[in-house]
Structure 1
């Protein structure tokens, strides 16, 4: 698999879903409708707090470079969760942007594909979070979220590179695409379900 083909194919297959997951309505869903800086930080921290333990479990089941990536990404997620809101839990039974869709992948190819897709979704959302703080004239938080987004992109690049190296057959490539698509679809289910539960029409991007 070419290192760019996984993400390019995922974007082509789920362009509408990804565009909505990077919209202001996705921020509204993340914050439960509380569009202020503290709510953005808490919502992001909750998602990262749910994401980190999954990466830790994958680290224990993986080997070599994949295990190292999952370990480093888990530490990154936990660290930023603490930075954004040290008191935030994972939300208990609340729905999560990507974490709820990540239990299924079962081998390194599927896990790397799931991680790459999850990091792509969070990267898209983080772009809107940066914009939120820019619009709020909160330069410090905007810079903090820019750093967060840049690191998301770095881990996403590494996951895609390792995935490309691990895909040795058409079956591997198909499994990777299926795993990645499932994560984007799960994130979109979170987006639609959360907004509908709040009485908000999810399909019009603002």
Structure 2
């Protein structure tokens, strides 16, 4: 299983969770049902700031090849947080999960594969929110942020530094991280009396 196949395996294993995390309920969960501009900006800043902090620490703790990729991803997340220009809130369930991940291969999967796959779904709804608010400037900004945050270049390059077994470990960790994000989302909605499953 090469790097591309590893990412495809994670997509296949987490299709249901990612589909649900791409629904319009994701911002209800992320903002505690406060669907206002500042709350949405805070949710986005929380994710990017937390990711930048964790990836930066991982860069300091990793070997040279992987450290470079973690460092580049950390800088990119910090730059996105600066563009969002809002105070971060308490870490969300995904960021809390990343704090528990240890081992290079597992960190590659969680931080450089799961995070972009989740960002793609999250920022889809952020863009939609600002379109609905008729705030085209912010919608355009978040279109750019979505494209950058969901890019898997760092993940694919770093998976290439791992052994076959390392890539399998990374895929398992990425799947676990996405499931953790979904569990947090589902629990948050259920506490509000909402069903995380789509209504068919």
Name which of structure 1's ranges 13-22 and 115-124 shifts more when overlaid on structure 2. Answer: 115-124
1:139 corresponds to which of 136, 140, 145: 136
State the superposition RMSD in angstroms: 1.9
Q: What does residue 112 of structure 1 align with?
A: 108
Query: What are the superposed Cα offsets for residues 109-167 of structure 1, whole Å, 9 maximum, x if unpaired?
Result: 2211111111211122111211221222211001110111111133x22212221x123
Q: Which moved more, 1:95-104 or 1:17-26?
A: 95-104
Asked if the contact 2:45/2:84 (under 8 Å) is kept, the reply is yes
Q: Aligned equivalents of 2:193 and 2:100: distance in 1?
A: 30
CA distance in 2, matches of 1:205, 1:31: 21
Change (3 A) 1:20 1:109: same
Q: CA deviation at 1:29?
A: 0.8
Does 2:80 correspond to 1:80? yes
Q: Alpha-carbon deviations, 1:74-132, whole Å to 9, x = none?
A: 2222232233243x2341xxx51421221343232221111111121112211121122
What is the aligned partner in structure 2 of residue 21 from structure 1?
Answer: 21
| Structure-1 residue corresponding to 2:185 | 191
Residue aligned with 2:88, SS: coil
**What SS class does the counterpart of residue 33 from structure 1 fall into?**
coil
Distance 1:149 1:166, change over 3 A: same
CA deviation after TM superposition for structure 1 residue 33, in Å: 0.8
Please list every run of 5 or more consecutive structure 2 residues that lacks an aligned counterpart in the other structure: none
Distance of 1:34 and 1:132 partners within structure 2: 12
Whether the 8 Å CA contact 2:52–2:75 is kept in 1: the answer is yes
Rate the CA distance shift 1:203–1:157 in 2: closer, same or farther, 3 A. Answer: same
**TM-score between the two structures when normalised by the length of structure 1:** 0.87
Q: How many residues align?
A: 199
Decide whether the 8 Å contact of 2:80 with 2:145 is kept in 1. Answer: yes
- Contact 2:65–2:161 (8 Å) recurs in 1: no
Instruction: Quote how far apart the aligned CAs of 1:12 are.
Output: 1.1
